[in-house]
Structure 1
Amino acid sequence: MEGLSVAKADLTVYVHPSKANKVDQAVRRQLSSLLFTYNELFDGVILAHEFNFKSKHAKILPGLIPYFGVNVKAKLLVFSPRPDMLLEGKVVKLGKESIHVIVLGFCSAAIMMEDIRQEFKYKIKGGYGTFVSLAHKRHVIKAGSMIRFLVKSVDEEILHLSGSLIPSNTGCIRWLSKHGGDGASQINRSIKRPRGSDFVMGLQDQHSRLFDNIDQSQNLSRPHKARKRTAE
């Protein structure tokens, strides 16, 4: 998936003197406060971070409360969607006039009827709405489907995207992976990874958790059926 990159940054984090004996925890908390919000400095949304200290020395700042500045080197996973990028997301709501998608578990996207190619027709199957391809009957988009779409516009303030399914290489990822040649998910290939980095493995786990957010919230609201036990 496009729009994901790893940025390296030299940062100064300001820590309160009361946290002098827990600097690592204080820095981590400060960096975590930047997650899932648009950051103008990095021109995108920070999804994950990893850091280490540049030195063991900190600079005390003058003032009524003398904060001290800690210099750190950080790796940041940044999500920067742009028009004409191909993104992947999960369909959370589908109607006759639109398809609503969640990207990476937090960013919403809407694909309106005029941006869905004529190949797809809205049908009711099993009481649920679906978009079915007239050219390939097994190419179906429904609630829960992972789809690839083209970005038309980006609202950075509310983290909302406007998408399109007009290009032929967009649609249900499962179907594209079998018939589209280049349709396999590219989310992991889009990030340049240094070999042997623990940070890379952490990003893979982060992606899995982000995509599972919706599934987990749905499962929590569903009662689990007790399994019948048979005596040996």
Structure 2
Amino acid sequence: MEGLSKSDANLIVYVHPSQSKNVDKAILRELSSLLFKYSQAFDGVVLAYSVDPQDKCARILSGVHPYFGVRLRANLLIFSPKPNMLLEGKVVKITRESIHCIVLGFSSAIITDENIRNELKYKAKHGEGVYVSRYHKRHVIKVGAVIRFEVKSLDEEILHISGSLIPANTGSVHWLDKYFVDAATDSNKETKTEEEMEMQEQITVGGEMLSFVNDHEIKKSKKRRRAEDQ
């Protein structure tokens, strides 16, 4: 899945003097406050981290409450979805107007009907809504399935994603991973076969193209060629 990246960052964590007896715990508490929130500094959502203190000594800052700063190096896992990226999410709700899913267990996403390609048709089965492909019966999107969709936008404040199922390489991950390449290959074969049939319907005689559309055109072409020979 796209949108995930690792980042090495040099940070300074400011610790209150009351936490001086347990600095390690204070550092972890400060870093944990960054989790699952959009950060402008990292241009994404911090999902996980590991830290390595750079100095054994801290620098005391002047002020009414003299905090001390601890330098450390952190390895961060960042989720930063951008438009046109492909994400995966678990479907939690399906209606005729939209598909709702959860990405990475914390970010909600919605795909409205205007962003669902015509190939996918809504149906009600056993009281539950599903989307089924008009061309591939095994391609089904239902509650509990994992789908791959394209990002349209991200609301950074509430971490809400607007997605799209317009591209052909989006839909049920189970179907895409098993059949998408074969389906694309079959489609190319059909197109190639049609082109070959059209080519076979035409031959070249004496530098002139003849088309086997009907006998009248062939006879007409022969008469024209005889007139040119005379």
State the TM bucket, normalised to the shorter chain: 0.7 to 0.9
Q: Deviations over 1:119-162 (max 9, x none)?
A: 11111111111001111111100111100000111211221111
1:29-178 paired onto structure 2 within 5 Å: 29-178=29-178
Q: Deviations over 1:30-49 (max 9, x none)?
A: 00000011100011011111
CA distance in 1, matches of 2:11, 2:181: 42
1:184-203 paired onto structure 2 within 5 Å: none
CA distance in 2, matches of 1:15, 1:140: 52
Amino acid at match of 2:116: I
CA distance in 1, matches of 2:3, 2:181: 21
Q: 1 or 2, which has the higher helix percentage?
A: 2
Amino acid at match of 1:5: S
Amino acid at match of 1:75: N
Residue of structure 1 in register with 2:21 after alignment: 21
Amino acid at match of 1:95: T
CA distance in 1, matches of 2:156, 2:180: 31
Amino acid at match of 1:161: I
Partner secondary structure for residue 87 of structure 2 = strand
Partner secondary structure for residue 21 of structure 1 = helix
Q: Is there any run of 5+ residues in structure 2 with no aligned partner, and where? A: 183-230
Partner secondary structure for residue 109 of structure 1 = strand
- Scaled by the length of structure 2, what TM-score is found? 0.77
Deviating above 2 A after TM superposition, structure 1's stretches of 4 or more consecutive aligned residues are none
Amino acid at match of 1:173: V
- Scaled by the length of structure 1, what TM-score is found? 0.76
Amino acid at match of 1:180: F
Amino acid at match of 1:114: E
Q: Deviations over 1:38-69 (max 9, x none)?
A: 10001101111110100101001111221110
Larger radius of gyration: 2
- Paired positions, count: 182
Superposed CA RMSD: 1.2
Partner secondary structure for residue 114 of structure 2 = helix
How much has 1:14 moved relative to structure 2? 0.6
Residue of structure 2 in register with 1:203 after alignment: none
Residue of structure 2 in register with 1:185 after alignment: none
Structure with the bigger RCO (C-alpha within 8 Å, sep 6+) is 1
Amino acid at match of 1:9: A
Partner secondary structure for residue 50 of structure 1 = strand
How much has 1:21 moved relative to structure 2? 2.0
Quote the sequence identity (%).
62
CA distance in 2, matches of 1:114, 1:17: 55
Q: Deviations over 1:167-214 (max 9, x none)?
A: 1110000111111249xxxxxxxxxxxxxxxxxxxxxxxxxxxxxxxx
Q: Is there any run of 5+ residues in structure 1 with no aligned partner, and where? A: 183-232
CA distance in 1, matches of 2:61, 2:117: 59
How much has 1:20 moved relative to structure 2? 1.4
CA distance in 2, matches of 1:18, 1:180: 59
